[in-house]
Structure 1
Amino acid sequence: LQDIADSNPKYGGSRSIVNGANATAEWVYGMLKNHTDYDVAYQPFNISMFRDVEKPHLASAKRTYIPEENFLTIYNSGSGHLEQVHARVIPGGCAAEDFDQFQKGEIALLSREGPCTYRDIITQAIKQGAGAVVLYTTLQNAGPPGGRCVDCASVPVIAIDHGTAIDLLEQIASSKDGITLTIRTNTTQDTVTSLNVVATTRHGSDDHVIVGGAHLDSVPNGPGINDDASGSATTLELAIQFHKLGLDKKLKNKVRWAWWSGEELGLLGSHHYVEDLYANDPEALKKIKISLDWDMIGSPNYIRGIYNGHEAQNPDLRGPSGRIQDLLAEWFHSHDLATTWVEFDGRSDYGPFLNRGIPCGGVFTGAEVIKTEEQRDVFGGMANVAFDPCYHQHCDSLGNVWGPGLDVLEQNARALAYVMQKFAYEEDLDAWLKGDVPLVAAPIV
């Protein structure tokens, strides 16, 4: 997957939707056709794609900054032109009270590494009347962090690199009245066709299907090796080994391996898959009993996170999703590996399944959130540093996962192999999800 990102100059070292995502899908499809006998299929769908019509502009009174090197437009940003508008640093940015000193129409400068997600920070700034939003990173030597905002088409939203952040903050600190910025963005949306890949075992009950997978695409900024080549590669290896070892020949339940596209644009591939079934083949959707997701499972400053199914928003899913959670924890704890629960918020490709009442679960090793000292004491690594310092950046390459990231990736892959085998061989999956029966012993290979 790193090679795909590097293979074509027009990809710009990325596997994003407009660059190497379809090439990634074609490679996965070919591997499955060559190494398994699964029913392998593409699922094409159209995506409305954001782009800059012209290069964005950012300048202070002292300096004009360089697009892509010093700053970039956040995906889904609106168009706009603000000329020498006052810029104000907002601490936190997650709550309305953080903007008490903020004047409507000003430019909001906010740290991407805040106490909530950067998308929530952008949303709050727009809600409070920001004329434009500038996200800066506190990660030393980091480039402009990419990403995607939601419902942000009304104002320009840009991200700046660490060096530009220091420069602007120093200008603010040395000026009695603060600083003004000029920001200009001109953006639009185009339609492109992207590809999901799904591979279904030929054996097992058609009425009981287990879906497991990860997303294919990266952000435009880089190759996305942790996010989410780590999950895509694991899915491919599990699928191939499942066939190679003969585990797919005596299944009680069908297994459907999935590689979703468009995750970085808002879970578009998995959403299309689920909603297409809901609209055109609702009986097939009802036959999907479990959906497992593994997104970012090789973070270098990792936690061993398991989605907290016991706290699913839908009370009817807390029992079955909680049992999936407990089974994953069982494997880690049997190998003396500490785990923690992570928010079951639908942020990755299990979300569309969860929204249609399907029990879900999965693992996650962390993204842009800062590791606490307590988490450092449990999992090692470095406190006060992001779980993945290269999240959504060009440096999310092979080097990002080399070392501790590969160690935790292997642990996650083994845990996922364990639960996929268990579910595939369960005699009465419906009863197990209800908690009526213990899970059968699967052949462990």
Structure 2
Amino acid sequence: MKTFNVSGKKIVVIAMSAALLTGFAGCEDPRWVANKVSKAMKEKNLFDHLEALEAASVPTPDGNSITRAAGTDGYENSADYIMKTLEKHGYEVTLQEFDFRSWVELDGTTLSVNGQQLVHVRDATDDIPADYAAMSYSGSSDGAISADIAFVTPDFNFDSPDYDDTDGCEATDFDGVDVTGKVAVIQRGGCTFDSKVVNAENAGAVGVIVFNQGNDEGRKGVVNGTLGSDSAATIPAFGARYDLGKGWYDALESGAITAALSVQTQDEVVVTENVLAETKAGDPDQIVMVGAHLDSVPEGPGIQDNGSGSAAILEYAIRLKKKMKRLPVTQKNKVRFAWWAAEEAGLVGSEYYTGEVFGAYYADAQAQIMEELGISDPSELTDEQREMVEARYLEINPIKMYLNFDMIASPNYIYGVMDGDLSDTKDSPDNAYPGDFEPPEGTGHIEGLFNEFFTDKGEVTVPQALSKRSDYSGFADWGIAFGGLFTGAEKTKSAEEVEQFGGEVDVAYDKCYHQACDDINNVNSVAMEMNSRALAYVATFYAMSEDLYADDKNQQDAAPETRTLRTLAVHDGHDHEHRIGEKIKSASREVADHGHFHGDFDQDRK
């Protein structure tokens, strides 16, 4: 700065460096803004939120732990903390209420086979491994049940070209198998646990044990599964280790085997709510949505699963608002934040949201097209006309992408990025989108941007199969581009991954997954901060982008200058029937039917 006197007046001249001028020019670059917001995500602030969520927990019914499960005061306290923190920083908060089926396993569950008392997952330690778990939404035993076990067509010939992994998936699998009054023992694989249990119950079974599949290392431990909140099963259902099931099968050659079991549950319909907020700035017709489930499982406080994702989004909402006030930039697209309820009950909160909100947009789109075509009955629409409806729906739906953050700070972590283009995981057994499914347009670009962030930090990433085990499922089914991060759950870490990320080989990414020990000590601070910064970088990049996919080398079928958020919805270069999921296909047959579809989630459903 220099000062001159001109005609008795002091003039101050500020010399701006070339670097400073370049910095202001960079304000128009989404990456410049994204880096600014990303660097504002600090470990201390993130852990302050995690501590608050742990403090929000309440004792479980058996008194053995604390919980934030949907339907409990622990969840309500968590939602209240999110809401008050957002309001403190100038956000308007909306609570979206809905009914859901709350299920809690009470104290006193037991399972023994041939007199050997098995170890419940709740009672396992580092020295005493778990043998079994009660499946969520299992029926109660109403006292003790003792009965012979009966196997339903297991197949241990994993390398055989005729290997059958669909035991119990069809009612005909029980033909010729006497399960009446017995405990059916069924190998995992091929369909949902609910299908196996309902089929067994219809065949006369009084209980079911699903033992793990055993066809790879990830399918040998305890099946910690769920029947889903829409299950009609009323009999007790358990999941067990593979080696136990195989041992029982071999022992049958020596005579009958008896199981004794007991499980008591609390099963009721309650009201809970999603927590929603959005920025005031940005185009309301082009919304970038960011979400995480706020609830825990009934067994524990769920600070890693999924306090980690919830805290990261909350801190991002705070930092984004502050940075937008201080930086000389204009936010291009509105950002909407969601904390989902009842994910652990079967993605209920996010499915309710997408069904209600997207279902209404689809109904409007169909009404518009029918009026333009002079058609009064939806059944008269041809396939080509249905594609017109789908294209119109994507055009008028303002939510153009969804970013999901579920378990982003596992203690034995990897940096997992959802494989949006299916280039690495199409043939994975964890891929829930086989066949002709093509992810919604833009999903691959989101994956690439996450990978760009980690590469810039000198980190590698692990492509994650699209398993439908979290809240992106409903968005994918409604044709919305999606992406997200995941640091691992019950599966074990490989030697190669230890070389890449450190940690312990052949140990679960999260040893406290869905257990009472998932408290704040179960959160890896390095992964928590890194993934939170990745979240902020990617979400801010899209919030600041008018020309969304200009640098996407994988989308050659559209001119870069036209790849905006809005053109994401109406681009006609893809087969919509494949790209748009089952939700739209169902809605196109009957717009009034917006019932829930519960896909897989982070507690295995199949």
TM-score between both structures, scaled by the size of structure 1: 0.80
Answering whether residue 391 of structure 2 is matched by residue 328 of structure 1, we say no
Unmatched tracts of structure 2, length 5 or more: 1-49, 125-131, 365-392, 423-432, 565-606
C-alpha spacing 1:325/1:54, structure 2 compared with 1 (3 Å) = closer
Deviation at 1:61, TM superposition (A): 4.8
Any idea what SS the aligned residue of 2:101 has?
strand
Answering whether residue 315 of structure 2 is matched by residue 237 of structure 1, we say yes
Deviation at 1:304, TM superposition (A): 1.2
Match of 2:164 in 1: 96
Matches of 2:150 and 2:512 in 1, distance apart? 27
Query: Which of the numbers 403, 414, 427 marks the counterpart of 1:292?
Result: 403
The more displaced of 148-157 and 15-24 is 148-157
Match of 2:420 in 1: 309
Match of 1:443 in 2: none
Deviation at 1:379, TM superposition (A): 2.9
C-alpha spacing 1:340/1:241, structure 2 compared with 1 (3 Å) = same
Query: Which of the numbers 209, 216, 221 marks the counterpart of 1:134?
Result: 209
Any idea what SS the aligned residue of 2:115 has?
coil
Match of 1:254 in 2: 334
Match of 2:278 in 1: 200
Matches of 1:315 and 1:331 in 2, distance apart? 27
Contact 2:59–2:67 (Cα < 8 Å) also in 1:
no
Match of 1:368 in 2: 490
More strand by share: 1
The more displaced of 346-355 and 305-314 is 305-314
> What are the equivalent positions in structure 2 for 1:99-138 lying under 5 Å apart?
105=179, 107=183, 120=192, 132-134=207-209
Deviation at 1:428, TM superposition (A): 3.4
Letter in 2 for 1:40: V
Answering whether residue 81 of structure 2 is matched by residue 27 of structure 1, we say yes
Letter in 2 for 1:379: F
Letter in 2 for 1:406: S
C-alpha spacing 1:121/1:96, structure 2 compared with 1 (3 Å) = farther
What is the CA deviation profile of residues 194-217 of structure 1, one whole-angstrom value per residue up to 9, with x for unaligned ones? 111111101110110000020000
Contact 2:193–2:225 (Cα < 8 Å) also in 1:
no
Unmatched tracts of structure 1, length 5 or more: 441-445
Letter in 2 for 1:84: A
The more displaced of 209-218 and 419-428 is 419-428
> What are the equivalent positions in structure 2 for 1:42-441 lying under 5 Å apart?
42-51=95-104, 56=109, 58-62=111-115, 69=123, 73-79=134-140, 82-86=145-149, 96-97=164-165, 105=179, 107=183, 120=192, 132-134=207-209, 147-150=225-228, 151=231, 153=233, 155-159=235-239, 176-177=254-255, 179-185=257-263, 189-246=267-324, 250-281=330-361, 286-311=397-422, 317-401=439-523, 405-429=524-548, 436-437=559-560
Contact 1:208–1:429 (Cα < 8 Å) also in 2:
no
Question: Rg bigger for which structure?
Answer: 2
Matches of 2:156 and 2:78 in 1, distance apart? 37
C-alpha spacing 1:338/1:432, structure 2 compared with 1 (3 Å) = closer
C-alpha spacing 1:186/1:208, structure 2 compared with 1 (3 Å) = same
Any idea what SS the aligned residue of 1:58 has?
strand
Matches of 1:92 and 1:240 in 2, distance apart? 53
Contact 2:184–2:209 (Cα < 8 Å) also in 1:
yes
CA RMSD of aligned residues (A): 4.2
Any idea what SS the aligned residue of 1:96 has?
coil
Contact 2:313–2:337 (Cα < 8 Å) also in 1:
yes
Q: How many residues were matched structurally?
A: 426
Matches of 1:310 and 1:193 in 2, distance apart? 37
Any idea what SS the aligned residue of 1:352 has?
helix
What is the CA deviation profile of residues 146-173 of structure 1, one whole-angstrom value per residue up to 9, with x for unaligned ones? 542244715421257x9xx98x979987
Matches of 2:505 and 2:317 in 1, distance apart? 36
Contact 2:53–2:303 (Cα < 8 Å) also in 1:
no
Any idea what SS the aligned residue of 1:332 has?
helix
